């Protein structure tokens, strides 16, 4: 009886847990975007006279920040698509690269974002299998490119740059430069590899057919 109760509870948990986590992440994203919108609204209220009444009305509209942030991002993309918008962005970049402290942060983030989101880049284009943190211990990694500049001059032979994500949060991890011969290229897609990492190996790429066969089942099949 206790065994059945435990199984029913786990089954119900597996039904509700993905939905709960998904809703929690969506609400978190809505909260972040609403926070950005309210910060901009507060700044506009302090600078532009007569904005107080409109700002108070807009603050009470749930989810409005998400819609406005998406609209602003889309409108920015449309604006930058023409020559005048590209000129404005170049002037914007020049301004931020002249500020001592901001320069290092802005240029680093811009280089990473340009590499990740550009169609011609090779960042996160392939899933890899590498030995980390020691020989004999294998983990999933992602190809980010090749070492260059002064670093490449100190490396003997062909090397690749890889990113090793942590589990279950793949946004943090480690950057490694490994010999090409020590890296195993996987056939699975980057999305499948990310699911594998986030699930801590529970969600196996390829579906149930790719799961390893239990020893007991193997023995029963031979008997």
**pLDDT at 216 (0 to 100):** 47
What's the mean pLDDT in 170-182?
89
DSSP class per residue in 56-100? HHHHTSTTHHHHHHHHHHHHHHHHHTSHHHHHHHHHHHHHHTTSH
Write down the pLDDT at residue 52: 66
- pLDDT at residue number 212: 56
> Which residues are registered as beta bridge partners of 163?
142, 175
Residue-level pLDDT at 175 = 92
* Three-state secondary-structure class, residue 209: helix
Q: Is the pLDDT of residue 59 over 70?
A: no
d(CA 34, CA 40): 10
| pTM higher than the cut 0.85 | no
Across the chain, mean pLDDT equals 77
> Greater confidence, 21 or 120?
21
Mean pLDDT calculated for residue range 22-30: 78
Mean pLDDT within 215-222: 44
Cβ atoms of 52 and 31 closer than 8 Å: no
Alpha-carbon distances of 103 from 12, 86, 111, 142, 194, rounded to whole Å: 51, 20, 12, 28, 32
Instruction: Pick the more confident residue, 28 or 184.
Output: 184
Does residue 204 carry a pLDDT above 90?
no
Q: What residues have CB less than 8 Å from 193, skipping those under 6 apart?
A: 127, 140, 142, 186, 205
Q: What is the pLDDT of residues 126-150, one digit of tens each?
A: 899 999 999 999 999 999 888 888 9
Q: What pLDDT is recorded for position 171? A: 75
- DSSP state string for 164-206: EE-SS-TTSEEEEEEEGGG-EE-SS-HHHHHHHHHTTT-S-TT
- Cα–Cα nearest to 133, from 98, 168, 164, 179: 164
Q: What residue ranges do the domains of the chain occupy?
A: 1-83, 127-206
179 confidence band (pLDDT: 50, 70, 90): very high
Region 12-20: what's the mean pLDDT? 75
- Supply the DSSP symbol for 44: H
- In this structure, the chain runs to a length of 223
Preceding amide of 133 cis, omega within 30: yes
């Amino acid at each position: 009886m206790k065994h059945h109760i435990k199984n029913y509870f786990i089954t119900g948990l597996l039904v509700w847990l993905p939905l709960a986590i998904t809703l929690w992440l969506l609400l978190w994203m809505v909260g972040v975007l609403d926070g950005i919108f309210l910060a901009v609204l507060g700044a506009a209220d302090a600078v532009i006279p007569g904005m107080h009444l409109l700002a108070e009305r807009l603050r009470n509209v749930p989810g409005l920040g998400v819609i406005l942030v998406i609209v602003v991002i889309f409108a920015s993309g449309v604006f930058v698509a023409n020559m005048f918008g590209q000129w404005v962005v170049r002037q914007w970049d020049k301004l931020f690269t002249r500020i001592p402290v901001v320069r290092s942060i802005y240029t680093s983030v811009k280089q990473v974002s340009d590499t990740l989101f550009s169609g011609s880049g090779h960042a996160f284009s392939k899933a890899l299998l590498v030995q980390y943190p020691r020989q004999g211990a294998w983990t999933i990694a992602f190809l980010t490119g090749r070492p260059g500049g002064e670093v490449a001059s100190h490396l003997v032979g062909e090397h690749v740059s890889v990113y090793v994500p942590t589990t279950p949060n793949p946004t943090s991890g480690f950057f490694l430069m490994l010999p090409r011969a020590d890296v195993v290229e996987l056939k699975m897609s980057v999305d499948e590899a990310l699911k594998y990492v986030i699930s801590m190996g529970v969600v196996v790429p390829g579906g149930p057919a790719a799961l390893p066969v239990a020893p007991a089942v193997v023995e029963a099949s031979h008997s």
